[in-house]
Amino acid sequence: MNISNRQRQILELLLNRKDEITAGEIAAEIKVSTRTVHRELSELEEILAAYDVSLHKKSGIGIQIQAEPEQLEKFKRSLSHMGTVEFSAEERKALMLCLLLEAEEPVKLFALAHDLHVTVPTVSSDLDDLEDWIQKSGLTLVRRRGYGVLLGGSEANKREAICRLARKHLDDSDLFGKIASGPLHPLTGRLLAMIGKEHWMDVEQALWQMEDRWPLELSEAAYTDLLIRLSVALARIRQGKTIEPDQRGVPDTGETVREGTVRDQMVRHLSETLHLSLPPEEADYIAGLFDENGEARTNSLLPQDDLSLLETVQKLIRRVEDQTGVPLSEDRSLRDGLIKHIEPALQRIREGVQIRNPLLAQIKKDYEHLFGYVRQAVDEIITGFAVPDEEIGFLVMHFGASLERLKQFSRNVRAIVVCTSGIGSSKLLAIRLEKELPQIDIVDNVSWYEAARFPAEAYDLIISTVDLPLEPDQYFKLSPLLTKEETEKLRQYVQNITLKRAPADLPEPLQGTPALDRLRSLKAYLNETVCLMDHFEVYRLSNSPDLRQTLRQACEEVRKDGALARPEPVVEQLLERERYGSQIIPDTGLALFHTRSEHITRPLLSLFRLSNALTLDPEHPAQVRELLLMLGPRELSKEGLEVLSEISAMLLLPDMIRMLENGTTEQIRQFISNELAGFFENKMEMERVI
């Protein structure tokens, strides 16, 4: 068995340490990133398992090799006889792809073998393994005796393949850090050259300067992804590897860049800043990159465009909620986090992108039961393809964070402690309480007979290690050691009894966000809610069977209410959103049409009951009989967006659907208002915790 030089370095560090060593310490020692260390450790675990040796990982402490003494000695002897290769199998295959993506002529097998320091049969075997990845990248692997090896396919697909390799093998420190003065790993160095590292920060600076022309807030990951795509494209253009006139390819906008448009301005700015003359095909390609990373969504009103995705997320939450017994559906942060995570995650899985999760082993250990619950829920709800454990691990982190949030009390709780085992036991219990439940403030330690006479207004809870002459719901009994089971029972007792019964403390001076700012935010939530509900109407529309005409009629109606300045551009945006994805609520005759535009003057929610049912998708001939129109101005506050998002989430409630189908204006208004009142109360509760 052969191992790479880097893997040998890691093993020697682990074997020479008697205590734990962190991945960060290993990374600093061998001069690579922590992410690279985790990737190598993942491969090493398989090698070690063959010798009955394992890696023991302790969260927050480090990593240590573990085995029986004789097995460890056997492994050390074997290690001394293992051959050292320059690259691991994964690195070698990635380098092979780089060589083929850069090559303009067929490459001989012996040339690849020479460059990678392996035999020709090893190269042939690696090519067999890579064929599936190559096909999923829209490329073809041409292999003929006497001809060599060549990657066929469009320039656009080759660029996308380079981006995939960069996302997998380069860290943010590689992308944004300065080029190291010392020698780089061959794979890192080649990928940095392929993505144009030399001009990387120039591209980033040019992109940042266009922020005011491109009114879209991108996540950090989306911004980095766009930057990689742009930099790869510009690096290839500098090398003379350009999009052919008949290969506008991926992403294809279906149209050329019109002069004077935002896309035209952005492409022109990029080419002028970087001193590049872009032919029409390249201008269209780069404009398509901006489309793919945002312009198609700049008119988005809701954080989730696909209502079936929202339904999937809520099913997952309910399924895990049933398993854990914890009210996870009350945590809106969990729902929002899963929506943002799952859509791109499912896209990666469909595209066959290999997902790495260096924390997987630790997640499985720390959240063993939760991992099983999430795995089972995903297998039942997400069908059609397999979701790997690595992705389940990321989902578990969302659920784990939610469980921790829900453990927090809405305010601090004052407690008196009764412990008859002496001062030492009382201090031990106090220390354990402070560590496990820091929101419990111990007011005093008292004797059992003092507890019944202590002023009731001075505390919220009595914690005792002995039975007291009080009613059972007036105190909580536990041991001085405060076991894990007792901690959970005490937490539930406080949540379900103490906090619902005891009066709140006088508010202490709050840290963090200034109180006035929080009040303004709460006022904004309330104002948005009241404005929406005051203007909510149900219309009966004698509509045309044509969707465009129906939307035009609906927009003309709401223009009378003053919410809309120019209907026609808004109609076009609504139609574009329908082409982007179906707006029909699953298993209903209701469709939600939503957008934001500079032609919309204020947020609006209106329901239209149609005289003529509409068929929006010939392949799915469900007929739409109710049309819910949700509009917002281009510049909309965070609070306004959250309120509208909350209303969209209600569309998965059966009672909401029945109300929209049959209720009067006032009945629907009251139903939505009741739900939004709960949303507002939740926001107020969260502000108390800040």
Average pLDDT over residues 278-293: 80
Instruction: Please check whether residue 486 is in contact with residue 458, taking contact to mean a CB–CB distance below 8 angstroms.
Output: no
Higher pLDDT, 453 or 387: 387
Please give the Cα distance from 671 to 605 (Å, whole number): 14
pLDDT at 670 over 90: yes
User: Could you report the per-residue pLDDT of 49-103, keeping only the tens digit for each?
Assistant: 888 888 887 766 788 888 888 888 888 888 877 766 677 788 899 999 999 999 9
Question: Of all residues in the chain, what percent carry a pLDDT higher than 90?
Answer: 21
Instruction: Please check whether residue 221 is in contact with residue 347, taking contact to mean a CB–CB distance below 8 angstroms.
Output: no
Say which range, 46-60, 151-165, 225-239, 283-297, has the weakest mean pLDDT. Answer: 283-297
Say which range, 20-24, 330-334, 565-569, has the weakest mean pLDDT. Answer: 330-334
Q: What is the pLDDT of residue 509?
A: 40
What does the mean pLDDT of the chain come to? Answer: 80
Structure tokens at 189: 């160095």
Say which range, 107-111, 143-147, 443-447, has the weakest mean pLDDT. Answer: 443-447
Please give the Cα distance from 451 to 144 (Å, whole number): 89
User: Could you report the per-residue pLDDT of 674-687, keeping only the tens digit for each?
Assistant: 988 888 877 676 55
Q: What is the pLDDT of residue 1?
A: 59
Question: Of all residues in the chain, what percent carry a pLDDT higher than 70?
Answer: 82
Average pLDDT over residues 455-472: 79
Please tell me the total number of residues recorded for the chain in this structure: 690
Element (H, E) at 616: strand 604-617
Amino acid (one-letter) located at 459: Y
Tell which residue, 296, 278, 281, 215, has the closest CA to residue 250: 281
Tell which residue, 448, 412, 432, has the closest CA to residue 486: 432
Q: What is the pLDDT of residue 582?
A: 63
Say which range, 29-38, 185-194, 640-649, has the weakest mean pLDDT. Answer: 29-38
pLDDT at 506 over 50: no
CA Rg, the chain, in Å? 31
What one-character-per-residue DSSP string does 202-267 give? Answer: HHHHHHHHTGGGS-----HHHHHHHHHHHHHHHHHHHTT----TT---SS--SSPPPTTSHHHHHH
Band of pLDDT at residue 254, cut at 50, 70 and 90: very low
Average pLDDT over residues 248-252: 43
Q: What is the pLDDT of residue 501?
A: 61
Average pLDDT over residues 544-569: 89
pLDDT at 216 over 60: no
Structure tokens at 414: 């004052």
Please give the Cα distance from 661 to 565 (Å, whole number): 29
pLDDT at 439 over 90: no
Band of pLDDT at residue 295, cut at 50, 70 and 90: very low
* 8-state DSSP, 396: H
Band of pLDDT at residue 181, cut at 50, 70 and 90: low
What domains sit in the chain, N to C, each tagged with a CATH number?
2-85 (1.10.10.10), 93-297 (no CATH), 307-407 (1.10.1790.10), 413-501 (3.40.50.2300), 516-689 (3.40.930.10)
Structure tokens at 640: 């306004």
Q: What is the pLDDT of residue 251?
A: 42
Q: What is the pLDDT of residue 208?
A: 78
Q: What is the pLDDT of residue 248?
A: 46
Tell which residue, 603, 669, 668, 608, has the closest CA to residue 638: 603
Please give the Cα distance from 43 to 26 (Å, whole number): 16
**What angle (nearest 5°) sits at the alpha carbon of residue 435, between those of residues 466 and 400?**
110
